[in-house]
Amino acid sequence: MGQSNPNLLPVDEARARLREYAISPTEQRVEIARVIFARHQHLSAEQILSLLAQRASRVSKATVYNTLNLFAEKGLVREVVIDPAKLFYDSNLNPHHHIFHTDTGELEDVDPARVDISNLPALPAGKELLGVDVIIRVGGERRSR
C-alpha cells in the first residue's frame, strides 16, 4: 500500500483542495474530487459516475450532479458546453481553449497563446465578462473531395 494511483488524487490533497474553496469535504465530494483532479481532463457527469462505480465508492447520481454544479459555481472546475446533450467538466483552470473531436467525442486543450481575442465590443454597463470559449471542431474523414 501507499503507492499512489495516477488515476486518483490522494485523499489529503483532495480535502485540501476543497478547503481552499470553502467547501466542506464530505466523503462523496472528496471521492469525486479525487477522480476529477487526478490530472487535467475533461469528464462528463456520466463518466465520473461510472469511474466512481468501478471503485468501492457508491455515490448517487444526484450527488454527482449536485457536486459538479457546486464545484463549477465555486470555481474548482470549468463547465464546457460542446454537445447539447452533455456538459464537460474541465479540471484545468488555466485559461485555455478546446479542440472537440466530433468522431471520438474527446476534447483536447489548446494553448490560449495561439488565439488572440482583441478589441471586443464594449460590454453593456453593469455586465460582467464571464469567460471566453473558443471551440474548434474537428471531424472524421474528409467528406467528398
Partner DNA sequence: TTGCGTGCAAACGCTTTGCATATTA
Partner DNA sequence: TAATATGCAAAGCGTTTGCACGCAA
The answer to the question of residue 92 lying near DNA (CB under 7 A) is: no
Rounded to an integer, what distance in angstroms lies between the CA atom of residue 43 and that of residue 106?
Answer: 9
All three cell numbers of 48: 465520473
Instruction: Please choose, out of 24-32, 109-117, 125-133, 134-142, the segment that lies near DNA by the rule CB under 7 A.
Output: 24-32
Residue 90: CB minimum distance to DNA, A: 13
Asked whether the beta carbons of 68 and 74 are under 8 A apart, the reply is: no
User: In the bound complex, what is the minimum distance in angstroms from residue 2's beta carbon to a copy of itself?
Assistant: 38
Among 8, 41, 55, 65, binds DNA (CB under 7 A): 65
Binding to a copy of itself, residues 71-110 (CB under 8 A): 81-87, 99, 101-102, 108, 110
CA dihedral 89, 93, 96, 98 (to 10 degrees): -10
Give 31 or 97: the residue with its C-beta nearer to DNA.
31
DSSP 114: G
Q: Of 95 and 105, which has the nearer Cβ to DNA?
A: 105
**Residues whose CB falls within 8 Å of the CB of residue 102, separated by 6 or more in sequence, listed in order:** 137, 138, 139, 140
Q: Which is nearer to DNA, 6 or 84 (CB)?
A: 84
Q: Which of 27, 103, 128, 141 binds DNA (CB under 7 A)?
A: 27
Cβ neighbours, 10 Å, residue 86: 13
